[in-house]
């Protein structure tokens, strides 16, 4: 361990590194998940970030699945799903800012150089990672633009009607990096009707895996603009609080 590595008390939930997994998928699969007005990014990359952070003062385990995507010429990531194990934070996050949170069971830990993560929902384990820390990596400062969708269908469920039509929420976050370590390992995506990442965002190549301990330097959340409400309608029915395509509030059914 390097001398300037972040130090925590044993068992503390502060300063856990984020397991950041990036893989290449299919450009057409990513485009199919993006609502009109949000464009695919330069690379067909999918990001799965598994974390444990205090929210507000108890551990929240989570998995954030996003894809490279641009909005009005600004490069960023579109968050498809954000599964967490803390029910109290789901609805306030979704209703206030459009954050696509939903309940998820997550195991994530490091033992010496070994790193393990498993994500499950409704009895299906849909994502697993097993690996080992291999090397120290560069520690960049960076800005991340993240896109969420805030929308509310009309009371009573009238066709193509909204109480609040779809708007893009722009989350601009500025980070430093306390420590970053490269990890070698295997990402496994498993079939699930509730979290169809293996089907809708298949893994073609594992691009990178890091244990990343960020410094949070700033965060701004604001409405960035409206999407075409009629063109968005096919994207309005989703699974749980995610942006995975659903059917009448239930899991996705294969054609």
Domains for the chain: give ranges and CATH numbers.
18-139+178-215 (2.40.400.10)
Most confident of 74-78, 216-220, 249-253: 74-78
Residue 68 CB: number of other CB atoms within 10 A? 21
Cis before 230? omega within 30: no
Of 36 and 255, more confident? 36
- Which pLDDT value is given to residue 248? 67
Tell me what percent of the residues of the chain surpass a pLDDT of 90.
83
- Which pLDDT value is given to residue 9? 84
Residue 253, pLDDT > 70, answer no
- Which pLDDT value is given to residue 251? 81
At 4, is the secondary structure helix, strand, or coil?
coil
pLDDT tens string 134-166: 989 999 899 999 999 999 999 998 999 999 999
Interatomic CA distance for residues 226 and 99, integer angstroms:
16
Nearest to 166 by CA among 34, 31, 35, 29: 35
Residues contacting residue 12 through CB under 8 Å, at least 6 positions apart: none
């Amino acid at each position: 361990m390097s001398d300037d590595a972040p130090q925590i008390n044993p068992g503390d939930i502060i300063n856990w590194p984020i397991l950041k997994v990036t893989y290449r998928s299919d450009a057409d699969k990513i485009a199919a998940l993006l609502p009109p007005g949000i464009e695919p990014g330069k690379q067909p990359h999918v990001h799965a970030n598994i974390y444990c952070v205090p929210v507000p003062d108890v551990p929240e385990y989570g998995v954030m699945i996003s894809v490279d995507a641009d909005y009005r010429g600004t490069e960023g990531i579109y968050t498809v799903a954000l599964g967490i194990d803390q029910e109290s934070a789901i609805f306030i996050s979704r209703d206030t800012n459009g954050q696509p949170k939903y309940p998820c069971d997550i195991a994530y830990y490091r033992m010496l150089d070994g790193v393990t993560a498993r994500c499950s929902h409704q009895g299906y384990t849909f994502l697993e990672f097993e690996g080992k820390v291999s090397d120290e990596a560069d520690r960049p400062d960076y800005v991340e633009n993240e896109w969420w969708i805030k929308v509310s269908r009309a009371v009573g469920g009238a066709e193509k009607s909204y109480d609040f039509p779809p708007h893009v929420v722009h989350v601009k976050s500025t980070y430093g990096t306390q420590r970053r370590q490269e990890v070698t390992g295997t990402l496994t995506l498993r079939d699930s009707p509730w979290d169809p990442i293996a089907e809708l965002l298949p893994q073609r190549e594992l691009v990178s895996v890091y244990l990343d301990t960020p410094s949070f330097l700033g965060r701004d959340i604001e409405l960035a603009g409206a999407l075409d409400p009629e063109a968005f309608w096919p994207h309005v029915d989703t699974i749980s609080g995610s942006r995975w395509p659903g059917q009448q509030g239930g899991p996705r059914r294969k054609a």
